[in-house]
Amino acid sequence: DVIDVRSLVQEGVFTYDPGFVSTAACESAITYIDGNQGVLLHRGYPINQLAENSDFLEVCYLLLNGELPTDAQLEEYKATIKNHSMLHDQMRNFFNGFRRDAHPMAIMCGVVGALSAFYHDQMDITNPKQREITGHRLIAKMPTIAAWCYKYSVGQPFMYPRNDLSYAENFLYMMFGTPCEEYKPNPILAKAMDKIFILHADHEQNASTSTVRLAGSTGANPYACIASGIAALWGPAHGGANEAVLDMLAEIGDESEIERFIEKAKDKNDPFRLMGFGHRVYKNFDPRAKVMRETAHEVLKELGMEDDPQLKIAQRLEQIALEDDYFVERKLYPNVDFYSGIILKAIGIPTSMFTVIFALSRTIGWFSHWNEMNSGANRIGRPRQLYTGHTERDYPKK
């Protein structure tokens, strides 16, 4: 049963819900999750069916507009996105202001926030057409921004987007292409990249989306709101998890060490957790993890990397955790980030870029929620608190 607390507030009712475990802050028609059954639906469509039959831009259209596009609508949408994929040339100066060794998430957060300085026209958030243009710009420019964050960090020239390539191919091209030689994206890797984008596109009111909604509820500039989502995503308990998975695999180092790390994860006096296991919402196998698991095997096979030592540790870890009582009782299954980390590593993407790719994918979710919020009645978000400090006291006399 759902309780609408608005009516109870007049009666002085106050709810205390750390971590927002049972408090809904909004109504939304975008994404449905049943964590106990392992169900994830976007606009009613199961995530596995979308991953199987759609591509990322079709899923973007669906999340934003509520219905799958016709062939003509999809073609038009893809052409529009391609039109907006370039970054203003002055944005290069912005990148150049960062230290060479800055984390790409720090760069992305700053650069996306800076878009608010470039596109301050069309900012009437009550106007659906103007909101739509902002959405096109964001979806189109995120792969360019993400790839440039990487290129900047390795000191290679920025690559400009190519309109003859698909969204995922273009991203791989801007990441790995150089002006010196022709780069042809591998179709299996591009497909895997596209699936990573689809599977991370939206996940209802997670920490970063709630942050975007909260920032957006004040009427703030949408690019600044998306930058706030990027900041929230950065933490290891959220988007930083796939990077943390690879760090953990490196720390384990050898298959002979796995048991010791499993014991550490179970020890309540040890802060170590098995990264990539468990989820706040899914107390059953994450449906995205199922798709990612299959994709991981396809990619490893394509690249002939099935015997990679770190990936072998990952497979063994997965097997042990699925059988161990501690993990089974607590329903700690491998989550989507466990497998996406493995795929990204195999493709050759450095771990520091993992969360950047998550942010690229999640931009459509953030934007769709921001757009939904601005399409209807919106009230500024203002959580309550349970005050635990001093009662009133007098300033000591000197």
Contact residues for ligand ACO, defined by CB under 6 A: 237-238, 241, 265, 273-280, 330, 332, 335-337
Spatial separation of the C-alpha atoms in residues 347 and 46, rounded to whole Å: 27
Q: Is 337 a catalytic residue?
A: yes
335 or 371: whose CB is closer to ligand ACO? 335
Contact 205, 26 (CB under 8 A): yes
The structure tokens 């608190």 sit at 385
CA distance 326 to 265: 10
Q: How far is the CB of 16 from ligand ACO (least distance, A)?
A: 16
Output the smallest distance, CB 206 to ligand ACO, in A.
Answer: 7
Cβ distance to ligand ACO smaller for residue 221 or 361: 361
- Token pair 């016709």 in the structure block, residue: 70
Distance separating alpha carbons of residues 298 and 78, to the nearest angstrom: 27
| Residue nearer to ligand ACO on the CB measure, 142 or 274 | 274
Closer to ligand ACO by Cβ: residue 84 or 273: 273
Smallest distance, ligand ACO to C-beta of residue 321, A: 8
CB of 138 to ligand ACO, least distance (A): 20
SS3 assignment, position 199? helix
Q: How far is the CB of 340 from ligand ACO (least distance, A)?
A: 9
Catalytic residue among 42, 136, 279, 369: 279
Per the residue annotation, which of 42, 200, 337, 369 is the catalytic one?
337
Cα–Cα distance for residue pair 340/157, rounded to 1 Å: 27
**What are the residues whose beta carbons fall under 8 Å from the beta carbon of 228, sequence distance 6 or more?**
211, 212, 215
Tokens of 179: 């002006």
Nearer CB in complex with ligand ACO: 145/332: 332
**Half-sphere exposure of residue 182, counting CA atoms within 13 Å on the CB side?**
2
Tokens 């199961």, located at residue: 46
**Of 280 and 312, which has the nearer Cβ to ligand ACO?**
280
8 Å CB contact between 49 and 42: no
Residue nearest to ligand ACO (CB): 278
Query: Which is closer to ligand ACO, CB of 190 or CB of 321?
Result: 321
Counting DSSP H helices and E strands in the chain, the numbers are 18, 3
DSSP letter string over 121-171? SS--TT-HHHHHHHHHHHHHHHHHHHHHHHHHHHTPPPPPP-TTS-HHHHH
Beta carbons of 58 and 144 less than 8 angstroms apart: no
Q: Determine the 3-state secondary structure of 44 from DSSP.
A: coil
Tell the smallest beta-carbon distance from residue 276 to ligand ACO (Å). 5
Q: Are 352 and 149 within 8 A, CB to CB?
A: no
Contacts of 321 (CB under 8 A, 6+ apart): 262, 274, 277, 327, 332, 333, 334
Q: How far is the CB of 336 from ligand ACO (least distance, A)?
A: 6
Query: What are the catalytic residues?
Result: 279, 337
